[in-house]
Amino acid sequence: MISLRAPRSVGATIAALALVLAGCREEPVRTYRTSKETLPPTEMPPAPTAGGELPAGHPPLDGSAAPAPNSGDTAALPPGHPPIGGGAMPAPGAAPASAPDAANDSISWAAPDHWVAKPLGAMRRGSFTAKNTAGEADCSIFVFPAASNPLLANINRWRGQVGLAPLTEAQLAAETTAVENAAGLKFVTVELLGQTGAGSTRVLGAILYRGEEAWFFKLSGPDAVVAAEKPAFLDFLRTVHPANS
């Protein structure tokens, strides 16, 4: 008959080995020499903020790259940076989003006639100023890897930008609306009204998950302006279609 009581020496050996091996886990610093890469810049642009220094291609962080107050988002982030506040990163193997190249985007759109196109900046795939008698609002279009941009995190990111509390997964369905356009593209839309430093701010947002891509359409600005632009924004979403169709 086999006794299940292990010899004392076995337990002691395993414990000793465990302790020894636990202390031997320090990974060394690897040192090697490589050919010069074009990416690492040796000279940086002067920092716009105290002590700050930005990587090459990084737009200024002082808001000069942001087209309108509270547009927030990723306009001031370097290429490959996920939306701030999202917390998620692209999955392994996912390369950072490249610089804007709207001509090669997988979807196209037609902006309302009274919206004025603006320079795209570092990350935007579309950028417009929506003007009406009440003032101006900013419309931005971004694309990021869908895998690293879950819906809830991004809706909550937008909510945070207008001072609203984050939603839970259970509350999400009640606070969002699904919209499908004639091209068969399905958007999740949200309308948010909150307070920011610029006063009462309204955000109309739409997120389109398409294959590996997550497209973010956002109209934000003073409450009265955005409220008046809501029909135009919804019409705008109806014009979005696959680029090759």
Partner 1 sequence: MRALLRTLVERLASLRITVVLLVLAMVLVVIATLDQVHLGIWAVQAKYFRSFVVVQQLPGTGVSIPFFPGGYLIGGALLINLLCAQFLRFTLTWRNLGLHFTHFGIILLLVGELLTGLLAVESHLTLDTGDTKNYAEASFERELAVIDVTDPAFDQVWAVPLSRLSRREPIALPGCPLTLLPLQFHENANFFMRRDAPNAPASPATLGFGPAVVVQPAEPTYRPNEENAPTAFVEFRGPDGPVGVMLATLAIERPQTFTAAGRTYAVVLRRTRIYFDFSLSLLEFRHDKYPGTEIPRNFSSRVRLRSAEGAEDRQVRIYMNNPLRHGGYTFYQSGFKNNDRTTILQVVRNPGWLLPYIACVISGLGLLYHFILTLAGFLQRRRATAATTA
The region of 3-11, 115-123, 201-209, 233-241 touching partner 1 under the rule CB under 8 A is 3-11
Provide the phi-psi class of 88: left if phi over 0, else alpha when psi is between -120 and 50, else beta. Answer: beta
Distances in whole angstroms, Cα of residue 229 to Cα of each of 44, 108, 130, 132: 40, 20, 7, 8
Write phi, then psi, for 18 (nearest 5 degrees): -60, -45
Q: Which of 1, 38, 46, 50 binds partner 1 (CB under 8 A)?
A: 50
Task: Give, for 16, the enclosing helix (H) or strand (E).
Answer: helix 8-22
33 binds partner 1 (CB under 8 A): yes
CB contact at 8 A, 178 and 157: no
Residue 18 as a binder of partner 1 (CB under 8 A): the answer is: yes
Q: How far is the CB of 5 from partner 1 (least distance, A)?
A: 8
| Gap between the Cα atoms of 159 and 153, Å rounded | 10
Q: How far is the CB of 175 from partner 1 (least distance, A)?
A: 21
Site for partner 1 in 55-114 (CB under 8 A): 55-58, 61-63, 72, 76-78, 80-82, 84-96, 98, 104-106
Distance of CA 208 to the CA centre of its chain: 13
Distance of alpha carbon 127 from alpha carbon 36, whole angstroms: 36
- 28 vs 119, which CB is nearer to partner 1? 28
- DSSP single-letter state for residue 36: P
CB of 73 to partner 1, least distance (A): 10
Taking the complex as a whole, how short is the minimal distance between the CB of residue 177 and partner 1, in angstroms?
25
Find the shortest distance in angstroms from Cβ 61 to partner 1: 4
Interface with partner 1, residue 121, by CB under 8 A: no
Contact pick of 1, 12, 38, 42 for partner 1 (by CB under 8 A) = 42
DSSP 193-243: EEEETTEEEEEEEEEEEETTEEEEEEEEEEHHHHHHHHHHHHHHHHH-EET
Q: Looking at 34-42, 108-116, 130-138, 172-180, which segment touches partner 1 (CB under 8 A)?
A: 34-42
Question: For residues 85 and 112, which CB has a smaller minimum distance to partner 1 in the complex?
Answer: 85
54 touches partner 1 by CB under 8 A:
yes
Nearest to partner 1 of 60, 112 (CB atom): 60
Applying CB under 8 A, does 40 fall inside the site for partner 1?
A: yes
- Residue 92 per-residue DSSP state: T
Q: From the CB of residue 110, how many other CB atoms can be counted at a distance below 10 Å?
A: 12
- CB nearer to partner 1: give 19 or 116: 19
Among the listed residues 37, 133, 168, 170, the single contact to partner 1 using CB under 8 A: 37
Q: Which residues ranging from 167 to 186 are in contact with partner 1 (CB under 8 A)? A: none
